[in-house]
Amino acid sequence: MNNNKVEVYSKLVLIVFFIISINLNAQKDTIYVDENDDYISKQVFYKKMNSPIYHGLRFDTDTLVLQTIRFKYYFGNLSSPIKSQLFKLLNKRHQIDTSKTLIIHYLDTLRAKSEYSKKNTVVFYDSLNRVIKPLIKSSQISDGVKFDFTNYNKVAKHKHIQNYRRFLKLNKKCTKRYYKYNNKHNEKVSVFHFYNVNNGHPNEFKELRWFKDYASLLKKLFFDENANTNFAIIKPSGEFLVYYPDKHFNNYHVTFLNLLNNETWNEIKISFEKEFETINKLN
C-alpha cells in the first residue's frame, strides 16, 4: 500500500470513528409533562405512571422525546353553564333526551369500510404505549428451541384491531345491551355513537347510527386527543365519568353496566379521588 493510499485509508478510519462517536454520544432531550401538559420531573412522571389512575405515553422525534401522563379514567362535574349549553346542543342537533343518563361511545375518526383490516388482530404495547413485536422470540439451539419472554414481560396493555364486520357487530351489540338493561331495570339510559371526523362512512347503516360531534365539543370537554376510542357516562345532574377501553379501573373488574349502579359508581369514585389526592401530594 503506497503512502497516498495509507493517508486516504487513515482519514477514512478517522471519519468513521468520528461518526460512530457522535452517534454513541448523541442523546435526545426528554421532556416530561403531566395530564395538564405542565412540565414535571422524571421522578414525578414515573411515580404517576405507576399509579392505578394514570398511564404514560411516549412520542419520539429525531431530536426530542416527549413523555406525557394521561388518565386511565376520571370523574368530574359539568358546571351549570356548560351543562346547560351542552344539553341544549345535544337536544337541538340530535334530539337527545338529556333527562336520561347518556352513554357516549366516542370515535375520534369514523373510518371508511376500506380502511379496516381484513382480519382481526391483537397489538401489544408496553407501559409507554410502544408496540411490542415480536411478543416471544425463539431461536434454534443444539438441543431444541430457546424461547425468550423478555418482550412478553413488558406487556402493559393490548389492543384489538377489528375488521369491518366485527366493528359493526360490536356497535350493534353495544346498543342492544343497554336496551335490554333498560327493560330489565326500568332505567332511563341511552347509548349514542359519536365521531369527530368521518372518513367516508355513512351516518346510518342498517340499524346503526353515528352522530357528528359538532365543533368537537364533546372531545374538548371530555376526551383525550391521543385516544381514538373513548367512553363516557353523563348523568342528568352533570356528573360524569370518562373511561378508555384499553385501560382498567383500579382493582375493579366492572363494566359500564355495573357503573350504572350508584353504589358501584360511588365506590370507584371515592377510590379515584383518594388516589388522585395522594399521588398529587408528591409534586
161-172 average pLDDT score: 86
Sequence-separated (6 or more) residues with CB below 8 Å from residue 14: none
Residue type, 237: S
Which stretch of 93-97, 146-150, 160-164 has the lowest confidence by average pLDDT?
146-150
Is 48 or 281 the better-scoring residue by pLDDT?
48
Query: Letter for the amino acid at 257?
Result: L
Residue 274 grid coordinates = 383518594
Per-residue pLDDT band at 6 (split at 50, 70, 90): very low
Please give the model's pTM, rounded to 2 decimal places: 0.74
Residue 23, pLDDT above cutoff 50: no
Question: At residue 12, does pLDDT exceed 90?
Answer: no
Give residue-wise pLDDT tens across range 208-264: 999 999 999 999 999 876 666 788 999 999 999 998 765 555 545 566 677 888 888
Share of the chain above pLDDT 90, in %: 34
Selection from 7-16, 19-28, 166-175 with the highest mean pLDDT: 166-175
Any idea of the CA torsion for 280, 218, 265, 83, to the nearest 10 degrees?
100
First to last CA, the chain: 65
Domain 73-117+163-280 annotated CATH 3.30.750: no
- Residue 140 confidence class, pLDDT cut points 50, 70, 90: low
Please give the grid coordinates belonging to residue 98.
338529556
Give start-end residues of each CATH 3.40.30 domain in the chain.
73-117+163-280
Give the chain's largest Cα–Cα span.
95
Task: Say if residues 155 and 124 touch (Cβ distance below 8 Å).
Answer: yes
Q: Is 95 or 259 the better-scoring residue by pLDDT?
A: 95
- 92-123 burial, b at 16+ Cβ within 10 Å, e below that, comes to eeeebebeebbbbbbbbebbeeeebeeeeeee
Residue whose entry in the numeric block shows the C-alpha cell 431461536: 139
- For the cut 50, the answer to whether the pLDDT of residue 70 exceeds it is yes
pLDDT higher than 90, residue 193: yes
Instruction: Please give the pLDDT value at position 118.
Output: 83
Distance of CA 19 to the CA centre of its chain: 39
Cα 154 to Cα 122: distance, rounded to the nearest angstrom: 15
